[in-house]
């Protein structure tokens, strides 16, 4: 399974290995940068959930630090 991040901000899970959902993805910003490389210590947490089982998605996390993506299994 792998995730693809598109330039419009959308993220798609290609669930070829049938990962059990919900799945937690944590993303850190890094690049080779000039003049100084970016190496972020902060992250964005994304939960990928089955659209037909939304009740399984975590709901008690702070929405300021979370992004939610509904995926289809």
Show me where the domains of the chain are located.
20-71
| Contact (CB, 8 A) for 26 and 43 | yes
Residues 6 or more apart whose Cβ sits within 8 Å of residue 23: 13, 47, 48
User: Residue range 41-58: average pLDDT?
Assistant: 78
Q: What's the whole-number mean pLDDT along residues 41-68?
A: 68
Q: What is the pLDDT of residues 4-21, one digit of tens each?
A: 878 887 777 788 888 888
Cα–Cα–Cα angle for 12, 17, 22, rounded to 5 degrees:
60
Render pLDDT for 55-72 as a digit per residue (tens, 0 to 9): 877 765 544 444 444 444
With vertex at residue 24, the alpha carbon angle to CA 22 and CA 28, rounded to the nearest 5 degrees, is 160
- Bigger pLDDT: 69 vs 36: 36
């Amino acid at each position: 399974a792998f995730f693809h991040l598109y330039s419009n901000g959308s993220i798609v899970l290609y669930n070829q290995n049938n990962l059990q959902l919900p799945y937690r993805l944590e993303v850190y910003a890094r690049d080779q940068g000039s003049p100084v490389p970016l190496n972020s210590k902060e992250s964005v947490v994304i939960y990928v959930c089955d659209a037909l089982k939304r009740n399984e998605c975590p709901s008690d996390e702070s929405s300021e630090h979370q992004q939610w993506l509904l995926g289809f299994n």
